[in-house]
Amino acid sequence: MCGIFGYVGHQSNAAEIVLKGLKRLEYRGYDSWGIAAVGQTGARIAVKKKAGKIGGATVDDLPKSTLAFGHTRWATHGGVTDVNAHPHLDCTGTIALIHNGIFENYEQIKKKLIVRGHHFRSETDTEVAVHLIEEYARSMMFTKAVQKAFNDMKGLNAIIVTDVKNHTLIAARNGSPLVVGFGDGENFLASDAAALLPHTKQVHFLEDDEMAIIGVNAIMLFNAKTGEHLQPKKQRLTWNVRDAEKGDYPFLMLKEIYEQPGVVSDIAANAAYVQTHAAHIKKSRGAYLVGCGTASYAAVAGEYLFSKIAKRHVNVAIGSEFGYHLDFLNRDSLIVAISQSGETMDILESVKKARQKGAKILALVNVLGSTLYREADYKLMIDAGPEKGVASTKAFIGMLAHLTLLAYAVAGKTNDGVAVLTRAVVSMKKVLSDPSVRKIKKLAKKLKKSEHIYVIGRGLSYLTALESALKIKEISYIHAEGLAAGELKHGPLALVTKGTPCIAFLPDDETYGANLAGAMEMKARGGYIIGVSHKPHEVFDYYIQVPTAGEATIMPNVVVAQLLAYYLTIERGFDPDMPRNLAKSVTVK
């Protein structure tokens, strides 16, 4: 959700460095932004903040400085206005603060601060924190004041604070992610490690209740509750700058779609790891696959894959619903928490609750050092490289590849799993070939004015349908619904009229005949049938070919849907990388 970037060092264009940092965080989704620059004179802190996107904005109007920090806001408390954007200043304009999270008890504290004479300019919970620090700093050292204020804040929060005297950034976190980056005569801070890549690969991920004082030459760490001094756990980031940029592609999402065959072939080439994790699953008595959004569909895929390949039942829960499934958890349970970012709050909460029941956690996660990664007993990296398009693509395909391999490994047939992934790579390449993409583009042109699109499938294609509909709606804003084909006659058919677009996934498996019947039911009511299959059929009004890849056919099928969603979005004139109202990583409940 909100992005944070901070710089303190020898360069005098700190605000510009921060602006570039914020641009690298734009993919997270935001509605306003702001930067504070602390000049060397000890005068008031200069702030520039605006509702809307950064676009071509510059920071030429901010003073030259060696310390600056900035924020991209995704509004929670208070509307999307310039005034509500962060950073917020105290009454004197000498303390600035940015914040991620929700300050739950801000109202009581605000009332007390108003009585003490503090003057508030915005409607945000965040501004209360900076006045609270101002209040405490009247009677104690600045660092202590920040620590005390942070400990007063209820909820899951991260704050970054600076003042005109100390030439440091002070950061504290509880729940919301923060990472500090170690440079040479300069240091950094961000909400997301990928934003640090152009500057440094040496990082420390702040744990809950950790506080960092970031100066030019050192970063000091403390426990925010006890004040105890801590040693940073330095890690080296494995990603490259280029991996996180769009290169020659017009949008990140398109680049990430094209990277998918490479992601799956790398996973297949390194399949040896899978045995250890398969052993955890075998040993458990009751496994849950838990995910949110697209990752929840990977979890549903896992349920089908484990049943079909490994003849093993696994439970599935959406992160936000998992809290209502705790009754059967115990020390022998295993939670497979699936998340690209490793920061989705509903997943982190699920993991916390499962732990309280003694369950073990296996994280299937893409971001090294993320909170989920650190919390897990067993860590399985998705290894899809940085994913920046808000709508998950390559991380999803990576999740599917690992779950397929795991299911085969549990069945004692890892080699068959590798073979099936290899077929999926070939099939995905075919879908991504020029003639196939041209066909999908042509379809997007045909469908661009549709109000509704229905997508049907059975078995593994059921969740292909769910994920396809999600992709279409989240970026093109066309209402799309994914359905189990068998459910059509229980309601959805009522909505099919002449010309209603219906996408039917018909892979070469046991679902083919029954799925075809669904397509025919649609057709009989006037539906325009788009068949995605290994072979054409007369019921199809439009046909997209996908070569069979056994149990992994779901992967090329999803690629068709990703491309269709992408080109629908382009046709309709929207930005696929930054869909309205959505964020890449949902770090609030």
The minimum distance between CB 585 and ligand G6P, in angstroms, equals 5
C-alpha 409 chain-centroid distance: 28
3-state secondary structure of 290: strand
Determine contact, residues 455/558, Cβ cutoff 8 Å: no
Q: Residue 226 CB, nearest distance to ligand G6P (Å)?
A: 31
Q: Give the one residue of 89, 195, 295, 329 binding ligand G6P; rule: CB under 6 A.
A: 295
Whether residue 301 contacts residue 463, with contact meaning beta carbons closer than 8 Å, is answered with yes
Query: Does 294 engage in binding with ligand G6P (CB under 6 A)?
Result: yes
Q: Which of 2, 48, 255, 360 is catalytic?
A: 2
Residue number of the CB closest to ligand G6P reads 293
Residue 569 in contact with ligand G6P, rule: CB under 6 A: no
Q: Taking a C-beta distance cutoff of 8 angstroms, is the pair 395, 384 a contact?
A: yes
Q: How far is the CB of 87 from ligand G6P (least distance, A)?
A: 26
Interacting span for ligand G6P (CB under 6 A) from 108-116, 123-131, 341-349, 441-449: 341-349
Q: Is 22 in the site for ligand G6P (CB under 6 A)?
A: no
Residue among 172 and 472 whose Cβ is closer to ligand G6P = 472
Q: Is 293 in the site for ligand G6P (CB under 6 A)?
A: yes
Distances (CA, A) of 145 to 114, 123, 141, 525, 533: 18, 23, 6, 68, 63
Residue 292 touching ligand G6P (CB under 6 A): yes
Nearest to 368 by CA among 342, 401, 406, 405: 342
Q: How many residues bind ligand G6P (CB under 6 A)?
A: 16
Cis peptide before 87 (omega within 30 of 0): yes
Catalytic residue among 49, 255, 523, 584: 584
CA distance 52 to 79: 12
Instruction: Indicate whether 339 belongs to the interface with ligand G6P (CB under 6 A).
Output: yes
Nearer to ligand G6P, 14 or 372 (CB): 372
Q: Is 370 in the site for ligand G6P (CB under 6 A)?
A: no
390: contact with ligand G6P by CB under 6 A: yes
28 binds ligand G6P, rule: CB under 6 A = no
One residue of 216, 230, 419, 582 binding ligand G6P per CB under 6 A: 582
Place of tokens 């710089």: 7
511 in contact with ligand G6P (CB under 6 A): no
Among left, alpha and beta (phi > 0; psi -120 to 50; other), residue 579 is beta
Question: Least Å distance between CB 257 and ligand G6P?
Answer: 13
Residue with tokens 């992005």: 3
What's the closest the beta carbon of residue 3 comes to ligand G6P, in angstroms?
14
Catalytic annotation on 53? no
Q: Which two tokens stand for residue 536?
A: 């054409």
Contact between 299 and ligand G6P (CB under 6 A)? no
Percent of the chain that is helix, strand, coil (3-state, to 5): 40, 20, 35
Say how far apart CA 37 and CA 12 lie, in whole Å: 10
Whether 429 is catalytic is no
Dist CA 100 CA 178 (whole Å): 10
Binding mask 436-475 for ligand G6P (x = CB under 6 A): ----------------------------------------
236, with CB counted inside 10 A (0-12, 13-18, 19+), is: exposed
Residue 267's SS3 state is helix
Piece of the chain touching ligand G6P by CB under 6 A; list 305-313, 388-396, 441-449, 451-459? 388-396
337 touches ligand G6P (CB under 6 A) = no
In the 3-class helix/strand/coil scheme, how is 407-463 assigned residue by residue?
A: HHHHCCCHHHHHHHHHHHHHHHHHHCCHHHHHHHHHHHHHHCCCCEEEEEECCHHHH
Report, in Å, the least distance between residue 24 CB and ligand G6P.
Answer: 17
Q: Is 586 in the site for ligand G6P (CB under 6 A)?
A: yes
Binding-site member from 340, 350, 500, 587 for ligand G6P (CB under 6 A) = 340
- Going by their DSSP bridges, the two strands 202-205 and 179-182 should be labelled as antiparallel
Q: In the set 347, 440, 539, 552, which binds ligand G6P (CB under 6 A)?
A: 347
- Kindly state whether residue 386 participates in binding ligand G6P, applying the rule CB under 6 A: no
First to last CA, the chain: 11
C-alpha dihedral (152, 214, 205, 33), degrees to nearest 10:
70
Stretch near ligand G6P under the rule CB under 6 A, chosen from 45-53, 126-134, 256-264, 335-343: 335-343
Is 341 a binder of ligand G6P (CB under 6 A)?
yes
Give the one residue of 30, 37, 584, 588 binding ligand G6P; rule: CB under 6 A: 584
Could you tell me how far CA 22 lies from the centroid of its own chain? 16
Task: Indicate which residues carry an active-site annotation.
Answer: 2, 584
Chain contacts with ligand G6P (rule: CB under 6 A): 292-295, 339-341, 344, 347, 390-392, 582, 584-586
